[in-house]
């Protein structure tokens, strides 16, 4: 398989969820949160894009660690918004949707604020 999958062992076999699917759920959740200007790339991801490597997880990293889902999001916040409140809203919304869509209650969401977006 070309992608990374989160595998859950069930009574009747295993269930595999692509990290890309969870990334899509996370991106959708973040787009609905007031005060988030958008997702941000890390320098490494931008460099990878420049040399032609595929980066589908702009601003979002999903991992399966010790039978729990760990999500890291990198966001920009709208100028004038309370950064801590926006980050907490992102954390709560993402955690809620990841748990609801995967059924895995053990999850962790780390929010990294990398910038402020000013009105033009």
Average confidence score pLDDT of the chain: 84
- Residue 100 resides in a domain: yes
- Residue 8 resides in a domain: no
Buried-state track 35-66, b at ≥16 Cβ within 10 A, e below 16: bbbebbbbeebeeeeeeeeeeebbbbbbebee
The mean per-residue pLDDT over the stretch 78-102 comes to 95
Q: What's the sign of the alpha-carbon dihedral 40, 33, 24, 70? A: positive
Predicted pLDDT of residue 1: 41
How far apart, in whole angstroms, are the C-alpha atoms of residue 77 and residue 118? Answer: 9
Q: Is pLDDT at 69 greater than 50 in this prediction?
A: yes
Query: Would you give the end-to-end CA distance of the chain in angstroms?
Result: 44
In CATH, what number is assigned to the domain containing residue 90? 3.30.70.1350
Confidence of residue 50 (pLDDT cuts 50, 70, 90): low
How far apart, in whole angstroms, are the C-alpha atoms of residue 69 and residue 81? Answer: 29
Share of the chain above pLDDT 70, in %: 84
- Residue 98 resides in a domain: yes
- Residue 26 resides in a domain: yes
Note down the domain range covering 96: 19-117
Confidence of residue 44 (pLDDT cuts 50, 70, 90): low
User: Within the chain, what is the greatest distance between any pair of CA atoms?
Assistant: 55
- Residue 108 resides in a domain: yes
The mean per-residue pLDDT over the stretch 51-71 comes to 75
- Residue 46 resides in a domain: yes
In a 10 Å sphere around its CB, with 0-12 CB exposed, 13-18 middle and 19+ buried, how is residue 12 labelled?
A: exposed
- Residue 80 resides in a domain: yes
- Residue 11 resides in a domain: no
Share of the chain above pLDDT 90, in %: 49
How many domains does the chain divide into? Answer: 1
């Amino acid at each position: 398989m070309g992608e990374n999958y989160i595998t859950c062992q069930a009574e009747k076999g295993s269930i595999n969820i692509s990290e890309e699917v969870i990334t899509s759920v996370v991106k959708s959740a973040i787009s609905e949160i007031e005060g988030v200007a958008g997702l941000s790339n890390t320098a490494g991801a931008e460099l990878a894009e420049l040399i032609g490597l595929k980066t589908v997880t702009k601003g979002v990293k999903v991992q399966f660690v010790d039978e729990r889902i760990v999500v890291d999001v990198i966001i920009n916040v709208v100028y004038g918004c309370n950064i801590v409140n926006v980050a907490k809203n992102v954390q709560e919304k993402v955690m809620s949707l990841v748990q609801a869509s995967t059924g895995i209650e053990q999850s962790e969401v780390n929010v990294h604020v990398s910038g402020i977006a000013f009105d033009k």
